[in-house]
Amino acid sequence: MTKPVIICVDDELFVLAGLEKQLKYQFGKQYKIETTSSGNEALEIFKHYQKSQIEIPLMIADQVMPGMQGDELLIEIHTMAPDTLTILLTGLASAEAVGNAVNFANLYRFIAKPWYREDLLLTVKEALTHYFQKKTIKSQELELRRMNELLEEKVRKRTAEVLRQKTELQDTLENLKQTQSKPLESEKMASLGLLTAGIAHEINNPVNYIYAGIDSLKEDLRDVFEVIKGYEQITAQNVNEALENIRSLKEEVAFDELITEVHELTSSIKRGAERTAEIVKGLRTFSHLDKDILETADIYENLETTLIMLRSQYKNRIQIVKSYADLPLIECYPHKLNQVFMNILVNAIQAITDKGVIHITTSLLSDKTPQTVSIEIRDTGHGISDKIRSKIFDPFFTTKDVGQGTGLGLSISFSIIEKHRGSIAVTTRQGEGTAFTIYLPLHTKELKNAKH
Ligand SMILES: Nc1ncnc2c1ncn2[C@@H]1O[C@H](COP(=O)(O)OP(=O)(O)OP(=O)(O)O)[C@@H](O)[C@H]1O
Ligand SMILES: [Mg+2]
CA of 413 to the centre of ligand 1 (A): 11
pLDDT digits (tens, 9 = 90+) for 380-392: 999 999 999 999 9
Q: From residue 83, how far is each of 77, 79, 392 by CA, in Å?
A: 10, 9, 73
| pLDDT tops 80 at residue 165 | yes
CA of 402 to the centre of ligand 1 (A): 13
Domains in the chain, ordered, with CATH?
5-115 (3.40.50.2300), 290-452 (3.30.565.10)
* CA distance linking residue 318 with residue 316, whole number of Å: 6
Any idea which of 30-34, 378-382, 391-395 has the lowest mean pLDDT? 391-395
pLDDT number for residue 450: 46
pLDDT digits (tens, 9 = 90+) for 85-122: 999 988 765 778 788 888 888 889 989 888 999 999 99
pLDDT number for residue 402: 66
Let me know: does 26 contact 6? Beta carbons within 8 Å. no
Strand partners, 436: 377, 426
When pLDDT is cut at 50, 70 and 90, the band that residue 286 belongs to is low
Nearest C-alpha neighbor of 120 from the set 26, 241, 215: 26
- What is the number of residues in the chain? 452
Ligand 1 first shell, C-beta below 6 A: 343, 347-348, 351, 379, 381-384, 392, 397-400, 405-411, 434
* Distant-in-sequence, close-in-space partners of 374: CB < 8 Å, separation ≥ 6: 361, 362, 363, 365, 437, 438, 439, 440
CA of 32 to the centre of ligand 2 (A): 89
Q: What is the mean pLDDT of the chain?
A: 87
Q: Which residue's CA is the nearest one to ligand 1's atom 27?
A: 405
